[in-house]
A and B are shown apart, each in its own frame.
Chain A
Amino acid sequence: MTAATGTGTLTRFSLRLGRFRIGTWVLALALMTWAIGLSLNRLYPTAASREQLAKLADSPALRAILGPLLAPTSTGGLIAWREGAVLAVLLSLATTFLVVLRTRGEEQSGRAAVIAACPVGRSATALSAMQVAAVLDASAGAAIALALVALSQPVGDSILFGLALALIAWSFGAIAALASQVLSSSKAANGCAAGAVAVSYLLLALGQLREAWLIWLTPIGWLGKVRPFFEPRPAVLVIPLAVGLLTAGLAAWLAAAREHGRGLRAEPRARRMRPVRSVAGLAWRLERVVVAVTMVVALVYSALVGSMVGYFRSFATSSPEFAKAIERLGGTRVLEDGFTTFMMLFGGIAMAGWGVSLVLRLHAEEESGRSEFVLASGATRERTYGGFVATAMATAVAGTVLWGFGLGIGRALADHRIDSLWRSLSAGLVTVPAVVVVVAAAGLLIGLGSRYGVLAWVVVVWCAIVTVLGAFFDAPQFVKDLSPFTHVPPIPLPAGAWEPCVLLLSVGVLLLAAGLAAYQRRSISGS
């Protein structure tokens, strides 16, 4: 097949380029699995405690969020139930980003032109990206299986779990390869592929909540259908394998049929737009389409999540036993508010991550030499720094408030109480200061030096670990306190809720002031 000529050489090359990235992901996911297993063993050491957990897990609310807990007595079963979908999402995102980087990313940067002029088939790049994705997913699956075996889980089930994760993530990689052929920018292709992962996760949630058949439509849902550590159904894995192969085949076929450097759609004509008058205006012009799309997606997603919260009550009242059990826990309001707070923290971290990526735009501008150009054209340091950081901050803050609004709209639509809207919106507002601190930290890092900017991701990941996985690790309180999201007050807002908010905002302002001061004093690197 001539369209595939050169695939092997390209794959070896991509593995050389991506070995650090792949190694990091594999190690991180395996360690995460192992650490979660250890803490689950500590939290539920006896068979009795696990039976009790199983009863709790059988409540409609938890079933809706985490799906059925099939094998409570095995640690592997607990991991698959509690973190299976999270592992699937993480590995899928790692795969889609890798695939887009090696296909549309190379092409957009112009590096691919040197390759395309060599005797290399037109589909070789897409096929090789799928091979590299297979290496990433297979290694991660094997490492996760090893971690499970290290937790003394049965070898067969461990391998099946790892294999299921690998195939699901690989099928998303194929979707990313397809998006890279159809769309002409890597940003759009990344957004499309990551969107597919998000939609899949959402469909799984909806399926667990109401329509069980939806679960079969979504790759992340297939993980639960394989049922490792319970009654394994390895045959289900044929589905992700077939979807992946077919999609990758379609991507390879499109790659052979389309022109280099272009998508399937003709380029739109450039429209006349308002002139860019300032650096902030430039930062906004560069990002506004992405901002608009992300805002709409965030609103829809948060409204859907919010509506799940709203259904808690109808579940709780569906049987007197549930009603009683929930009454003992403090009533549906407590559950709903607790879940809203948690989903708000999750949204806040996502928005903070987005804000960080926008601040890092300044890093890209600097490395490409564009900052030098802008500064030499008469823009002051304050304006250049302030323009990008302010745009990032405004976007992240607006996104956080919007997320709270979305949760509230969803909740209010489902439970018909306007009070639900205000409560969720207030949860969004009190999350803003924590988001400000994270984005400001990115601002400080980039102020200190362009290459320190990426460290801001460590801050985001740290917040995510402490908040999302915090329940599993009884880390000392001072460690948890290092994440600004730990200080976000829960709803309904207690008296004195404003104190941590003011404190966090002050920290954010200080970080930004320090960042600007550092940026004014350091040298700017060129291309």
Chain B
Amino acid sequence: MDAIATSGLTKSFGGVRALDGLDLVVSTGEIHGFLGPNGAGKTTTIRVLLGMVRGDDGSAQVFGADPWKDALDLHRRMAFVPGEVDLWGQLTGEETLDFLGRLRGGVDEGNQRGLVERFELDLARQVSTYSKGNRQKVALVAALASGAELFLFDEPTDGLDPLMVEVFREEVRRLRESGRTVLLSSHVLSEVEEVCDRVTIIRAGRTVESGTLDALRHLSRMEVTARTLHAVGSLAGLAGVHAVKQDGLSLSCEVDADALDDLLGRLHAAGVATLECHPPSLESIFLSHYTPGGPASR
């Protein structure tokens, strides 16, 4: 059974359509990247999955159950870290973790202590003296110590320093090893690229792409830079070859995955001196989905 399955999900707030037919499937045990620019509907999707708001149309299921009706039972199996963590300033970090643990009916103390150490969290201080990153760490520790099956992280590394981001990634890998499911919303591509098995990209409340990173790369263009021994002739007319720049024997271009063979044939015929061929970075996939006129808007 899929941990998360939404199809054609819509949600409007005061006439503004936040979700506009969103499809999102996250299999149990996978780390799923949830990408989109600000305002694409990532947070609204997570709020629907948590049963905080109700979808208008379409369907949403978490572990096969209705996230609105069965919120209480589902929450026992889920943990959530919001993007902006606001806590009670007059409590210490210790008291805050204790309270959040009690709401869950107790947590594994040893596990929690380990997390506090790894995230280098000073629990004796009052939360009002914490920076944004420290408040974030409290929420992360509380969630990671919960022993939940499904973790929803809404841009969790905003405000963490690079060392802590690495600790967080380590924890996500640990979750994968123990078979947990993670939905990681982000606009930080390297984060998703590093830890996620599959990715869903959304824009304006709608899914524009979903699949493994490899499959997504396949959909996109390769970047080719080469120098030939003899003149190769104009490549501009070749099907599937784009953004051609030729300067004497040097050339660079972008090529669709299925046109790569044709291009290499032409280059080979002219004699290859040097050749670099990059798979697309997630960055370029992402950009191509958000730039009007990019391949995703075909």
Contacts and interface: CB of A to CB of B under 8 A. Distances in A.
A268 B14 contact: yes
B104 interface: yes
A236 interface: no
Give the size range of A's interface with the partner.
20 to 34
Contacts of A496: none
Contact of A117 (B16, B78, B87, B105): B78
A250 to B, nearest CB: 20
Interface-central residue, B15, B75, B84, B142, by most chain A CB under 10 Å? B75
A116 B88 CA distance: 15
Contacts of A260: 47, 52-53
B52 A118 contact: no
Given A5-B72, A259-B52, A117 B79 contact: yes
B176 to A, nearest CB: 21
Contacts of B111: none
Interface stretch (A48-56, A119-127, A341-349, A351-359): A119-127
B277 to A, nearest CB: 45
Contacts of A110: 82, 84, 86
Contacts of B73: 119
A269 interface: yes
A113 B82 contact: yes
Given A117-B50, A119-B75, A9 B103 contact: yes
A114 B100 contact: yes
A17 interface: yes
Interface in B184-201: none
Contacts of B152: 117
Contacts, number: 78
Contact of B71 (A9, A111, A114, A122): A122
B103 A111 contact: no
Contacts of A111: 86-88
Nearest to A8: B102
Contacts of A268: 14
A82 interface: no
Contacts of A120: 72, 75, 103
Interface-central residue, A16, A117, A260, by most chain B CB under 10 Å? A117
Interface-central residue, B72, B78, B90, B142, by most chain A CB under 10 Å? B72
Interface string A97-111: 000000000000111
A224 to B, nearest CB: 39
Contacts of A10: 103
Interface in A109-152: 109-111, 113-122
A51 B53 CA distance: 64
Given A5-B72, A110-B86, A260-B53, A119 B79 contact: no
B209 to A, nearest CB: 28
B273 to A, nearest CB: 55
Given A109-B86, A114-B139, A259 B53 contact: yes
A117 B86 contact: no
A266 B52 contact: no
B216 interface: no
A377 interface: no
A111 B139 CA distance: 11
A6 interface: yes
B48 to A, nearest CB: 10
Interface string A13-28: 1001100000000000
B217 interface: no
B244 interface: no
B76 A119 contact: yes
Nearest to A112: B86
Given A118-B103, A119-B104, A119-B105, A259 B87 contact: no
A6 B82 CA distance: 20
Nearest to A110: B86
Interface in A420-473: none
A259 B14 contact: no
B52 A113 contact: yes
Nearest to B15: A269
Interface string A250-262: 0000000001111
A287 B105 CA distance: 42
Contacts of A6: 103
B25 to A, nearest CB: 22
A2 interface: yes
A267 interface: yes
Interface in B96-124: 99-100, 102-105
B292 to A, nearest CB: 25
Given A115-B103, A118-B100, A119-B103, A17 B75 contact: no
A114 B95 CA distance: 14
Nearest to B96: A114
Contacts of A261: 52-53
13 contacts: A6-B103, A9-B103, A113-B82, A114-B82, A114-B139, A115-B103, A119-B73, A119-B104, A119-B105, A120-B72, A259-B53, A266-B13, A266-B14
Interface of A: 2-3, 5-6, 9-10, 13, 16-17, 109-111, 113-122, 259-262, 266-269
For the complex of A and B, the 8 pairs showing the least CB-CB separation, nearest first, are: A267-B14, A260-B52, A117-B80, A118-B103, A119-B75, A259-B53, A110-B86, A119-B76
Given A117-B152, A119-B73, A120-B75, 9 more contacts: A113-B82, A117-B82, A119-B103, A119-B104, A119-B105, A259-B53, A259-B54, A262-B53, A267-B14
